[in-house]
Amino acid sequence: MSETDPFQLFADWFAEARESEPNDPDAMALATSTPDGRPSVRMVLLKGHGPEGFTFYTNLDSRKGAEIAANARAALLFHWKTLRRQVRIEGPVAPVRDAEADAYFDTRSRDSQLGAWASWQSRPLDARATFEKRYEEMVRRFEGGTVPRPPRWSGFRVTPELLEFWSDRPHRLHERRVFTGTNGGWQEGLLYP
């Protein structure tokens, strides 16, 4: 593989970001939309990447989960300010296998696992104390045992059809390399900045 392989190029850039970014080099903006095209965007954390796609985890009943269920396409954006680079990704979204979600959930801290049970993500909350009470209820419920993955918590994988690698250049003469999926391969090109 070379830098004409978009997945290797991403892996190289991501490794550099992990060395240089002071906070959350795995943070990515995730854009979804309703079936009628109403967009929404939020930050999530990348939990896996490779030729199979880019993986993140969430509550399936969250706004993003509901939007993906209704319109299984998304866009991702990584912005690594210290490197003066960004990567855009677009493509269809599919759920990860249960075994994969279970394996990732097992790596989370116990407090994060309990938080996944306590949170009704994206639903209205009357007071912070209500959430804290639900969290304490989960602490008691799972005391002394393992915390299983909640049934409405899992992961999604964005399978890229397009990857764009943007590099800052002086005088706004930036470099934009774009990879577009073809039948089993990638076509590389450039875009005007």
Q: Which sequence positions are flagged as catalytic?
A: 172
Residue type, 63: R
Instruction: Judge contact between 134 and 118, C-beta under 8 A.
Output: yes
**Backbone torsion region of residue 37, taken as left when φ is above 0, otherwise alpha when ψ lies between -120 and 50, otherwise beta:** left
Q: Is the dihedral of CA 163, 169, 172, 175 positive or negative?
A: negative
Return d(Cα 90, Cα 18) in angstroms, integer: 22
Q: Which has the closest alpha carbon to 85: 180, 159, 156, 19?
A: 19
Instruction: Name the residue with tokens 């049970």.
Output: 117
Return d(Cα 144, Cα 125) in angstroms, integer: 29
Phi, psi of 158, deg, nearest 5: -90, 120
